[in-house]
Amino acid sequence: MSLAFPAAEPVLLPIEGTVEKFPVRRVYCVGRNYADHVVEMGGDPDREAPFFFQKNPDNLVSAGDGFPYPPQSDDVHHEVELVIFLKSGGSAIPASEAFDCVFGYGVGIDFTRRDLQAAAKKAGKPWTAAKAFEHSAPVSAVTLASRTGHPAAGRIWLSVNDTVRQDGDLGQMSWKVPEIIAELSQLFTLAPGDVIFTGTPAGVGPVRRGDRIACGVDGVATLSLSVI
């Protein structure tokens, strides 16, 4: 078989403590998974069924790279999240078996063009342009689950120019890691290389060119970058 033009390079993420790389297949994101963030976005804090959206694999930005401020927006917000990396998958995965699919964890930022998202919500249109733009998902190196365990609690935080903006705990997630995997697998066939952003705590806010951002999940990973 011959190709009409060269295939795109695969998206490969570093794995902490090894020279191996994690090959990315798909990127899923969970919306409104912390009650305090639901409230700050004007929603009902009662637990609701999880909903999902996607970013593109090449939206991922490796640790150490800058975040280019995107066009068509004057209101880009940060959202720090625990990230799950899968080594296996399937459909209709029971929550009791979900941890068997996990390769590792990391921390990432779901950058959002909030003005475009607000306009899309008002018009009842998809959020794709607000969420899945270039460089919109900076992510740390993958930390093996054998090193971190499966974190159910622990601080998750983000600072801008050394001022803490988001400061929550994984225990505040409405839907926990095994539940997220189980629910997602009801809608999609999961597979090795899938990446899942698990939602953000309260404190999301705007970033500006020149800002220095640092974030982390205690015991899992940290990430730092500049808005360029």
pLDDT tens-digit map of 47-70: 677 889 999 999 998 867 789 999
pLDDT of 91-107, one tens digit each?
999 999 999 999 999 99
The Cα–Cα gap between 110 and 134 comes to 12
The answer on pLDDT for 40 being more than 90 is no
Q: Tell me the average pLDDT across 83-89.
A: 98
CA 119, 121, 126, 127 dihedral sign is positive
- Local confidence band at 39 (pLDDT 50, 70, 90 cut-offs): very low
Q: What is the pLDDT of residue 63?
A: 66
Give 28's Cβ-side CA count (13 Å radius): 22
Say whether pLDDT at 188 is over 60. Answer: yes
Q: Where are the domains of the chain?
A: 12-226
Mean pLDDT, range 166-182, rounded to an integer: 95
32 versus 180: the higher-pLDDT residue is 180
Report the relative pairing of strands 27-31 and 195-197 from DSSP bridges.
Answer: parallel
Average pLDDT (41-47) is 55
% of the chain exceeding 90 in pLDDT: 87
DSSP secondary structure, 152-169, as one string: SS-EEEEEETTEEEEEEE
pLDDT score recorded for residue 36: 62
Instruction: Taking residues 189-197, report their average pLDDT.
Output: 98
pLDDT of residue 116: 96
Q: Cα dist. 199→32, 58, 147, 167 in Å? A: 6, 20, 22, 13
Q: Which fold has domain 12-226?
A: Fumarylacetoacetate hydrolase; domain 2 (3.90.850)
pLDDT in the model for residue 98? 98
**Does the pLDDT of residue 43 top 90, yes or no?**
no
Q: What is the mean pLDDT of residues 177-198?
A: 97
192 vs 101: CA distance, rounded Å: 8
Residue 37 clears pLDDT 60, i.e. is over it: no
pLDDT of residue 165: 97
Per-chain mean pLDDT for the chain: 93
As a whole number, mean pLDDT of residues 64-81 equals 93
pLDDT at 44: 55
